[in-house]
Amino acid sequence: MIRFILIQNRAGKTRLAKWFMNFHDDEKQKLIEEVHALVTVRDAKHTNFVEFRNFKIVYRRYAGLYFCICVDVNDNNLAYLEAIHNFVEVLNEFFHNVCELDLVFNFYKVYSVVDEMFLAGEIRETSQIKVLKQLTTLTSLE
Protein backbone atom coordinates (compact mmCIF):
# COMPACT_ATOMS: atom_id res chain seq x y z
CA MET A 1 0.00 0.00 0.00
CA ILE A 2 1.16 3.53 -0.75
CA ARG A 3 1.61 5.52 2.44
CA PHE A 4 2.29 8.86 0.78
CA ILE A 5 3.37 10.48 -2.45
CA LEU A 6 5.72 13.46 -2.44
CA ILE A 7 6.98 15.69 -5.21
CA GLN A 8 9.86 17.88 -4.06
CA ASN A 9 12.44 19.99 -5.81
CA ARG A 10 16.13 19.89 -5.08
CA ALA A 11 15.86 22.71 -2.59
CA GLY A 12 13.31 20.73 -0.63
CA LYS A 13 10.20 22.70 -1.61
CA THR A 14 7.20 20.43 -1.67
CA ARG A 15 5.20 20.54 -4.88
CA LEU A 16 2.76 17.83 -3.95
CA ALA A 17 2.12 15.94 -0.76
CA LYS A 18 -0.56 13.30 -0.87
CA TRP A 19 -1.06 11.34 2.36
CA PHE A 20 -2.80 8.00 2.52
CA MET A 21 -2.29 7.61 6.26
CA ASN A 22 -3.41 10.00 8.98
CA PHE A 23 -0.44 11.92 10.26
CA HIS A 24 -0.20 14.95 12.51
CA ASP A 25 0.91 18.08 10.72
CA ASP A 26 4.23 18.08 12.62
CA GLU A 27 4.84 14.50 11.65
CA LYS A 28 4.14 15.32 8.01
CA GLN A 29 6.72 18.08 8.09
CA LYS A 30 9.25 15.72 9.63
CA LEU A 31 8.60 13.05 7.04
CA ILE A 32 8.98 15.58 4.22
CA GLU A 33 12.33 16.71 5.55
CA GLU A 34 13.59 13.20 6.15
CA VAL A 35 12.65 12.03 2.69
CA HIS A 36 14.33 15.03 1.14
CA ALA A 37 17.52 14.41 3.07
CA LEU A 38 17.41 10.77 2.11
CA VAL A 39 16.95 11.01 -1.65
CA THR A 40 18.89 14.13 -2.57
CA VAL A 41 22.21 12.65 -1.50
CA ARG A 42 21.84 9.71 -3.87
CA ASP A 43 23.25 9.72 -7.37
CA ALA A 44 22.44 7.98 -10.64
CA LYS A 45 24.49 4.92 -9.74
CA HIS A 46 22.32 4.28 -6.74
CA THR A 47 19.14 2.26 -6.77
CA ASN A 48 15.78 3.99 -6.95
CA PHE A 49 14.80 2.46 -3.62
CA VAL A 50 15.66 3.49 -0.09
CA GLU A 51 14.65 1.95 3.17
CA PHE A 52 12.74 4.46 5.22
CA ARG A 53 11.79 3.75 8.82
CA ASN A 54 9.59 0.66 8.62
CA PHE A 55 8.71 1.37 5.00
CA LYS A 56 10.59 2.11 1.82
CA ILE A 57 10.73 4.96 -0.63
CA VAL A 58 10.63 4.31 -4.35
CA TYR A 59 11.67 7.48 -6.14
CA ARG A 60 12.75 8.88 -9.45
CA ARG A 61 14.25 12.18 -10.38
CA TYR A 62 12.94 14.23 -13.31
CA ALA A 63 15.07 17.31 -13.96
CA GLY A 64 14.93 19.20 -10.67
CA LEU A 65 12.01 17.29 -9.23
CA TYR A 66 11.99 14.18 -7.07
CA PHE A 67 8.90 12.00 -7.27
CA CYS A 68 8.79 9.80 -4.18
CA ILE A 69 6.33 7.08 -3.24
CA CYS A 70 6.45 5.55 0.21
CA VAL A 71 5.24 1.95 0.22
CA ASP A 72 5.31 -1.14 2.43
CA VAL A 73 8.57 -3.06 2.52
CA ASN A 74 7.18 -6.07 0.72
CA ASP A 75 5.60 -4.06 -2.08
CA ASN A 76 6.87 -4.44 -5.63
CA ASN A 77 9.62 -1.88 -6.21
CA LEU A 78 9.61 -1.86 -9.99
CA ALA A 79 5.82 -1.70 -10.23
CA TYR A 80 5.82 1.48 -8.16
CA LEU A 81 8.84 2.88 -9.97
CA GLU A 82 6.92 2.58 -13.23
CA ALA A 83 3.75 3.86 -11.59
CA ILE A 84 5.69 7.06 -10.98
CA HIS A 85 6.72 7.23 -14.61
CA ASN A 86 3.21 6.52 -15.80
CA PHE A 87 1.98 9.36 -13.58
CA VAL A 88 4.66 11.70 -14.93
CA GLU A 89 3.74 10.89 -18.51
CA VAL A 90 0.12 11.70 -17.74
CA LEU A 91 1.11 15.02 -16.15
CA ASN A 92 3.29 15.75 -19.13
CA GLU A 93 0.46 15.14 -21.55
CA PHE A 94 -2.13 16.93 -19.45
CA PHE A 95 -0.05 20.08 -18.96
CA HIS A 96 1.52 19.88 -22.43
CA ASN A 97 5.12 19.47 -21.47
CA VAL A 98 4.88 19.81 -17.75
CA CYS A 99 7.27 21.94 -15.71
CA GLU A 100 7.58 22.67 -12.03
CA LEU A 101 5.56 25.87 -12.29
CA ASP A 102 2.58 24.02 -13.72
CA LEU A 103 2.46 22.03 -10.51
CA VAL A 104 2.64 25.21 -8.45
CA PHE A 105 -0.05 27.17 -10.23
CA ASN A 106 -2.37 24.25 -10.84
CA PHE A 107 -1.84 22.43 -7.56
CA TYR A 108 -5.56 21.74 -7.25
CA LYS A 109 -5.62 20.04 -10.63
CA VAL A 110 -2.65 17.87 -9.73
CA TYR A 111 -4.72 16.43 -6.90
CA SER A 112 -7.38 15.47 -9.43
CA VAL A 113 -4.80 13.66 -11.52
CA VAL A 114 -3.61 11.80 -8.43
CA ASP A 115 -7.14 10.80 -7.48
CA GLU A 116 -7.72 9.38 -10.95
CA MET A 117 -4.58 7.24 -10.80
CA PHE A 118 -4.09 6.46 -7.11
CA LEU A 119 -6.86 6.05 -4.57
CA ALA A 120 -6.89 4.83 -1.00
CA GLY A 121 -3.19 4.08 -1.32
CA GLU A 122 -3.64 1.76 -4.27
CA ILE A 123 -3.23 2.01 -8.01
CA ARG A 124 -6.66 2.85 -9.41
CA GLU A 125 -6.21 3.33 -13.12
CA THR A 126 -3.13 2.69 -15.25
CA SER A 127 -4.32 3.43 -18.76
CA GLN A 128 -2.99 6.82 -19.82
CA ILE A 129 -5.64 7.06 -22.51
CA LYS A 130 -8.46 6.53 -20.02
CA VAL A 131 -7.04 8.89 -17.42
CA LEU A 132 -6.47 11.66 -19.94
CA LYS A 133 -9.90 11.24 -21.44
CA GLN A 134 -11.45 11.61 -18.00
CA LEU A 135 -9.29 14.62 -17.19
CA THR A 136 -10.24 16.29 -20.46
CA THR A 137 -13.90 15.77 -19.66
CA LEU A 138 -13.41 17.33 -16.25
CA THR A 139 -11.53 20.31 -17.65
CA SER A 140 -14.36 21.03 -20.05
CA LEU A 141 -16.83 21.27 -17.18
CA GLU A 142 -17.72 24.52 -15.57
Partner 1 sequence: MPNIRGDAMRGLAVFISDIRNCKSREAELRRINKELTNIRQRFRADKTLDGYQKKKYVCKLLFIFLLGHDIDFGYMEAVNLLSSNKYTEKQIGYLFISVIMNSSSEMKQLIIQNIRNDIQSRNPIFINLALQCVANIGEREMATAFTNEIPRLLISGDTIDPVKQSAALCLLRLHRTSPDSLQLNTEWTARIIHLLNDQHLGVATAAVSLIDALVKRNPDEYKGCVNLAVSRLSRIVTSSYTDFQDYTYYFVPAPWLCVKLLRLLQNYPPPDDPSIRSRLNECLDTILNKAQEPLKSKKVQHSNARNAVLFEAINLIIHMDCESTLLVRACNQLGQFLQNRETNLRYLALESMCLLAASEFSHEAVKKHQETVINALKSERDVSVRQRAVDLLYAMCDRSNAEDIVQEMLTYLETADYTIREEMVLKIAILSEKYAVDYKWYLDIMLKLIRIAGDFVSEEVWYRVIQVVVNRNDVQSYAAKIAFEALQAPACHENMIKVAGYILGEYGNLIALDPRSTPMIQFELLHSKYHLCSPTTRSLILSTYMKFINLFPEIKQHVQDILRHDSNFRSSDVEIQQRATEYLRLSEICSPTVLATVLEIMPPYPEKQSPLLVRLKQKKPLMEAEPSGETPTTPGAHTDDGPKLADTAIHLNQQHQQQQQNGLLVSLDTIESNGHYNESTSYSLPSSSVPSAAPLQSAKKLLFKNSDIIFENDIIQIGIKVEIMKSILRVEFYYGNKTNSNLTNMSSSISLADELDPDLRINMEPIKSSIDPKAQIKQAGTIECIKDYGNLPKMNVAFFYSNVPQKIDFPLPLYINKFIEKAEMDSNNYFLRWRNLDKPDQECQKIFPAKFPMNHNECSQKLDSFGWSDLAGIDVNADNFCGAGILHTTAQQIGCLYRLEPNKQAKMYRLTIRTSKGGVAARLAELLEDQF
Strand partners, 71: 2, 56
When binding is defined by CB under 8 A, the residue of 31, 69, 91, 113 that contacts partner 1 is 31
When binding is defined by CB under 8 A, the residue of 12, 37, 64, 85 that contacts partner 1 is 85
3-state secondary structure of 26: helix
Our finding on whether 37 is near partner 1 (CB under 8 A) is no
Burial class (CB in 10 A: 0-12, 13-18, 19+), 113: buried
Our finding on whether 53 is near partner 1 (CB under 8 A) is yes
Burial class (CB in 10 A: 0-12, 13-18, 19+), 25: exposed
Q: Which residues bind partner 1 (CB under 8 A)?
A: 1, 3, 14, 17, 21-24, 27, 29, 31, 42, 45-55, 72-74, 76-79, 81-83, 85-86, 95-96, 99, 101-102, 104-108, 111-112, 115, 119-130, 134, 137-139, 141-142
